[in-house]
Amino acid sequence: MEYDIIIGMEIHAELKTKSKMFCRCDNNARGADPNTKTCPICLGHPGTLPYPNQQAIEWTVLLGLGLHCHINEFSKFDRKNYFYPDLPKGYQISQFEIPFCSGGWLDIDGEKIAITRIHLEEDTGKSTHPAGKNYSLIDLNRAGTPLIELVTEPVIRTAEMAKKFCQRYQQILRYLDISNADMEQGEMRCEANISLQEKGKWLYEDGLIKPVGDYKLNPKVELKNINSFRAVEKAVLYEVERQKKALASGEELRQETRGWNEESGKTVHQRFKETSADYRYFPEPDIPPLKFSGQMILEIKAKLIELPSEKKIRFIDEYGFDAITAEILVSDKALADYAEHVVSELESWIVSCGDTWERQKNKLAKLASNYLISELFKHLKANNQTIRDIKISAENFAELMTLVYQDKINSSAAQTILGVMYAKGSDPTDVMYELGLEQMDDTAVLEAVVNSVLAANPDQVAQYKAGKTNVAQFLVGRVMAETKGKANPKKVQEIIGKILKS
Ligand code: ZN
Ligand code: MN
């Protein structure tokens, strides 16, 4: 039997507001002792009143605008009732039928992944279960942290796309500077709903999967405990295979929640899924409904910045970067800003040389991406640093590119200079002169060195003349050694060819 894979994502992310969602408690509890960032409101004491965090609401709207959502001008909070030890009130304040944002989409390389909704709620506390002990511990510092939940339509068809969606969403949260979205810290938590449907037996209509004719849909499985992007892909792939086998053996699937176990590489049953009716949602009586004016939405929209998918397209069109380079550069806003600064320096430089960016952009963009990504990344990695730690100004970085571009230095000298620049933030031209790395480019000087090398290596010259032309590489190597690596290797090769062919 052939199946269509149907995946929908639910992603929770903690907002990095100063205070919590409904009280004045410090929202940054990193490193704090358990239960020290709490108050009667987030502890759910009877008689306390929640007071919504305006910043959290504005950020949710900002995110919704960035993802092309409809912003509901009239909205409200609801109570989602359930019992769990990490939920002292016995309910979570969330949003049910009228979230702040409805519809919308996130673009991944031209494929628009439809979004159902984005709503705002509060996080729960955190339980830990010490190994070998007969008790559990509860930390309520996290209780009441603003939490945005994004739900997609069931339109994702592969595990790889599910992973890419989560990665792009994390980038967007970081671009907007509204969440750290660190998955290892639990600041972003991805859940995948997966079902297999017999190929071609369903329709996707009005945001819902509908069976064709009397065909019955297979139940979906919700996957939790996914702590990394790699795990998103692995868990989905595992679950697809598990469901395929189950269906092939005639097992009846049930709607359930399963947890991903990183060590075993398997999903394990946790519970049969509640339906929304089990939560007995009702409007939060302590918070009046919210109404946005068109003006407020416009003011929030004015704060929207260019997001990674659009930036990627622009980097390709405007600067001539290839798609892979552009994807890497836009993955981190600080890196994208740095690259853009370098490129704009190169652009003014090439114009000052009497040329145009349009004519030279492919060569210059390739050069810049090679040094920004391959060479610079080596140093960042070796020093366990990010682009935010870099001492090299974009002007100096661009200047290094111009030295290579003009053949003033060769690539091995450029790497040496970059190493010094990385350590000290120095000017590349100064380093070039200090270390005597300027490239030997003078034809007459190089011809003299080539002639002496040829005279000293008669056997190789004879081999070359007998048709074994790849010995030219050996001769170039000799010239490079003779000039202490300073000769322009391209030019040396040309000169050798010219002399030996004559
Ligand atoms: Zn509090
Ligand atoms: Mn939720």
DSSP string, 219-274: PPEEEEEE-SHHHHHHHHHHHHHHHHHHHHTTPPP--EEEEEETTTTEEEEEEEPP
CA–centroid distance, 492 to ligand 2, in Å, is: 66
Ligand 2 centre from 121 Cα, in Å? Answer: 7
- Residue ending a domain, among 266, 298, 330, is 298
341 and 424 belong to one structural domain? yes
pLDDT the model gives residue 407: 87
Contact assessment for residue 139 and residue 34, using Cβ atoms and an 8 Å cutoff: yes
Whether 381 and 461 share a structural domain: no
Q: Could you tell me if 265 and 154 lie in one domain?
A: yes
> What is the per-residue pLDDT for 208?
72
Q: Which ligand is nearest to the CA of 14?
A: 2
Q: How far is CA 187 from CA 36, 190, 214, in A?
A: 19, 10, 43
- Position 207 scores a pLDDT of 64
Residue 375 lies in a domain: yes
Highest mean pLDDT among 160-164, 465-469, 483-487: 160-164
416 with 396, same domain: the answer is: yes
Q: What is the pLDDT of residue 414?
A: 94
SS3 call for 458 = helix
| DSSP letter (8 states) at residue 487 | B
Mark whether 85 and 170 lie in a shared domain: yes
The model's pLDDT over 118-177, given as tens digits with 9 standing for 90+, comes to 999 999 999 999 999 999 999 999 999 999 999 999 999 999 999 999 999 999 999 999
pLDDT value, residue 368: 94
Q: In this structure, are 106 and 151 located in the same domain?
A: yes
Q: Which domain holds residue 448?
A: 443-501
Cα of 152 to ligand 2 centre, how many Å?
13
> Which of 298, 328, 354 delimits the end of a domain?
298
Q: Domain for residue 111, yes or no?
A: yes
Which ligand has the nearest atom to the CA of 147? 2
Q: Are both 288 and 330 inside the same structural domain?
A: no
pLDDT tens for 20-66 read 999 999 999 999 999 999 999 999 999 999 999 999 999 999 999 99
First-to-last CA distance in the chain? 70
Residue that finishes a domain, picked among 434, 465, 490: 434
Query: How far is ligand 2, taken at its centre, from the CA of residue 404, in Å?
Result: 53
* Residue 205 and residue 87 share a domain: yes
Cβ atoms within 10 Å, residue 134: 5
Residue 123 CA to ligand 2 center (angstroms) comes to: 8
Q: How far is the CA of 236 from the centre of ligand 2 (A)?
A: 20
Domain assignment of residue 28, yes or no: yes
Q: Exposed/middle/buried for 180, CB within 10 Å: 0-12, 13-18, 19+? A: middle
pLDDT of the residue at 333: 97
Question: For residue 450, which of 410, 488, 412 has the smallest C-alpha distance?
Answer: 488
Contact 307, 172 (CB under 8 A): yes
Expressed in angstroms and rounded, the spacing between residue 403 Cα and the centre of ligand 2 is 54
Assess whether 284 and 357 both reside in one domain.
no
Residue pLDDT, tens place only, 68-112: 999 999 999 999 999 999 999 999 999 999 999 999 999 999 999
Q: How far is the CA of 53 from the centre of ligand 1 (A)?
A: 12
In a domain, 371, yes or no: yes
Please report, for the domain that includes residue 457, its CATH number: 1.10.10.410
Number of domains composing the chain: 3
Could you tell me if residue 222 is inside a domain? yes
355 is a domain residue: yes
120 assigned to some structural domain: yes
Ligand 2 centroid to residue 192 C-alpha, Å: 13
In a domain, 303, yes or no: no
316 and 249 fall within a common domain? no
Residue at token pair 């750290």: 180
Query: Do residues 273 and 340 share a domain?
Result: no
What secondary structure letter does DSSP report for 470?
G
Q: Which ligand is nearest to the CA of 94?
A: 2
Residue 16 shares a structural domain with residue 67: yes
CA of 384 from ligand 1 middle (Å) equals: 36
Identify which ligand lies nearest to the alpha carbon of 82: 2
Ligand nearest to the CA of 141: 1
